[in-house]
Structure 1
Amino acid sequence: MHEITISTSDKPKLFSQLTTLLSEIGLNIQEAHAFSTLDGYSLDVFVVDGWAGQDIESLKHEVTKKMQKLEEDQWLPLHLFPKETGTLKHIPTKNIPTKKIKKLEKQPWCSLPKERPEKIGMNYIFNHVNKPISRNDVWEIEASCLKYEKKIASGSVSDLYKGTYINQDVAIKVFKNGSLNENMHREFSQETFILSKIQHKNVIKFIGACTKPSFHLVTEYMPGGNMYDFLHIQKVVLTLPSLLKVAIEVSQGVAYLHQNNIIHRDLKTANLLMDEKGVVKVADFGVARLQNQSGIMTAETGTYRWMAPEVIEHKPYNQKADVFSFGIIIWELLTRKLPYEDLSPLQAAVGVVHKVFA
């Protein structure tokens, strides 16, 4: 495991850019610590694993290449120090008075170092560390660090907001207090546990969760919206290359889940979200489950129009139920039609079971 420290002048979406950069290299972010000052500087510390061979020099090389590209885009010059220092440093600016250091929160993701940095610049520090990654509170964040911008969706048990968390655009799912019964507590715990254990370029990125004063679940914000609206409200016609791209990205995300013994159980176009670059990611793990040792489930869950017949009939099912839903998604992408669009959801369920296709 490695610790990477990056310090620079603070900029909008910087934290999001850095987490994306590390993910693109293939690193798994186990912890993230962020600090800011009142006069516009930022310090970000990441504890990561997933680097094959634990070779710090090759890791430094890969991160440096990515950071140089980011710096070119941001107009930040880079000054390299000798290799033996293990540090790449931007031309230093000015000292920061201690009184201007602003503590963001007490949790690990938002804490201050014991000693303030003497100077701020574009600085990368690589250290090999041995830290436990299975702590129960690793995903816990303080609700006070969340900033709300606007409500983007509302349901019977939760509301969804666009907001920010430490300079990163996020989606904040807020569970309504009236819906927090024992079952909902269990669902929240299950979704949080699954999201905290997975990381893939085609799966929604988990940021953290709060349990006080109410239940909040925070993920990356996907400005491209969902594939259902894209097809059926915006009426976008996908070219064949674009359609294949979407299908491949969804299949890669689902394959990753299945490799980790996770069944999504509610795959549909409304749960496929797009980022600013058009990359499609599988989202909404509210009913997802880890496959048990027997490899079968019987509970009926999901959305009828995309649901496999064995799920509707309460028969034993496994990961193949997701594959059926994926097939419906491909049909939907090709035809731009809603599955069983002329039938009610219950009629659609009967149609699926009896193989009556719309």
Structure 2
Amino acid sequence: MHEITFSTVDKPKLLSQLTSLLAEIGLNIQEAHAFSTADGFSLDVFVVDGWREETEELKSVLERGILKYKEQYLSKRHVVSSVNEHYQVKIEPLSNCIAIPSDGTDVWEIDTTQLKTENKVGSGSFGDLYRGTYCSQEVAIKVLKPERVNAEMLREFSQEVYIMRKIRHKNVVQFIGACTRPPNLCIVTEFMSRGSVYDFLHKQRGVFKLPSLLKVGIDVSKGMNYLHQNNIIHRDLKTANLLMDENEVVKVADFGVARVQAQSGVMTAETGTYRWMAPEVIEHKPYDQKADVFSFGISLWELLTGELPYSYLTPLQAAVGVVQKGLRPTIPKNTHPRLAELLERCWQQDPTNRPDFSEILDILQHIKRK
């Protein structure tokens, strides 16, 4: 596995050009994350496999490919590539504590002597999730892998802490505290004993009948409406980030890529997961809270069918289909008419035609009453 990062002046079709370059080399893209800044720069990060030679040789092949693409597509724009072997990322020097904005009204630094880690319940690219206790309360502990820590990851970590400590809602996973002193970086939240909706659907082969589906949709809509009212865009809303507690209350989780919305009302830093991602996000266009509504619509379809969105396509093929061909999941014929109508409105190509979460909540509650 390798992680490849491209930085360049942003331009239309950049993502598709870079993915074509990787495909020509024979690499299989496992993850892709795209970021762009308000002043016109782009950072595209790919996790790939399929390269059997030395890493330095891959870097040389990429550089030759970039030169060819610069001549064909990128004109005089400057492109730089860097390749790191996965799990062997250089650890950058860190200060004694990460700077996280504080208004002085709350204390959230974890007393590690009161934190007890038990069994691992999940693992990701940048961290592991453990079950544990804090001051005798059952908690979930998200621990960052020291070997994966870099400057970008620290920014993401501090952003997640900053956002989570500001929010409190019954349909948002409750933040308890964090350890911000390297190398023991972790975020502690309430423990959600029933796991994610994604695991329930795809690993346990669970089924949501209409009443249960509506309850989940209402729970998520309440949580998302609260976040949007507080100018927070989640940016990675999907069933893997919807967690269930012992009472089957569903809560929105994982704010690693969430952002406080800019005063201008639009965002230009892109991230998320392709199968659930709004077309304007895939295309590097400015976006707002309606990007979360698109992702919610895809997640609601997943609840309805129990299927992975575009399961017959790779994530990148799905992204291209969504943007260029208006591809959307097929709604089953026996779907409740109001629910089918809501799905189609949520994933409209034009974000202004999508409902907001207060309207979605009204529609789902109306269907439930009927």
TM-score in terms of structure 1 length: 0.62
SS in 1 for 2:130: strand
1:169-218 CA deviation, whole Å, 9 max, x = no partner?
10001111122211111111100010000000000000000023411100
Counterpart in 2 of 1:197?
166
Counterpart in 2 of 1:352?
322
Question: Letter of the aligned partner of 1:150 in structure 2?
Answer: N
1:206-231 CA deviation, whole Å, 9 max, x = no partner?
00000234111000000011000111
Deviation at 1:134, TM superposition (A): 2.7
The separation in 2 between residues aligned to 1:236 and 1:154, in whole angstroms, is 22
Structure 2 residue runs without a partner (length 5+): 1-101, 330-370
Structure 1 residue runs without a partner (length 5+): 1-132
**Alignment counterpart, residue 298 of structure 1, candidates 268, 285, 288:** 268
Counterpart in 2 of 1:175?
144
Matched, 1:166 2:135: yes
1:263-300 CA deviation, whole Å, 9 max, x = no partner?
00000000000000000000000000000111111222
Deviation at 1:137, TM superposition (A): 6.6
Question: Letter of the aligned partner of 2:249 in structure 1?
Answer: V
* Higher RCO, 1 vs 2 (CA within 8 Å, ≥6 residues apart): 2
Counterpart in 1 of 2:231?
261
Matched, 1:321 2:279: no
Tell me: CA distance 1:346–1:159, structure 2 relative to 1, closer, same or farther (3 Å): same
Counterpart in 2 of 1:85?
none
Counterpart in 1 of 2:188?
218
Deviation at 1:138, TM superposition (A): 1.3
Counterpart in 2 of 1:157?
126
Q: Over alpha carbons, which structure has the higher Rg? A: 1
TM-align CA RMSD? 1.3
**Alignment counterpart, residue 330 of structure 1, candidates 285, 288, 300:** 300
Matched, 1:134 2:103: yes
Structure 1 vs Structure 2: percent identity of aligned residues? 69
Question: Letter of the aligned partner of 2:326 in structure 1?
Answer: K
1:11-49 CA deviation, whole Å, 9 max, x = no partner?
xxxxxxxxxxxxxxxxxxxxxxxxxxxxxxxxxxxxxxx
The separation in 2 between residues aligned to 1:318 and 1:233, in whole angstroms, is 32
Alignment of 1:1-358 (within 5 A): 134-135=103-104, 138-212=107-181, 213-353=183-323, 354-358=325-329
SS in 1 for 2:165: helix
Give the length in aligned residue pairs: 226
Counterpart in 1 of 2:11?
none
Deviation at 1:166, TM superposition (A): 0.8
TM-score in terms of structure 2 length: 0.60
The separation in 1 between residues aligned to 2:285 and 2:242, in whole angstroms, is 26
Q: Which runs of 4+ in 1 moved over 6 A?
A: none
Deviates more, 1:228-237 or 1:282-291: 228-237
Deviation at 1:356, TM superposition (A): 2.2
SS in 2 for 1:197: coil
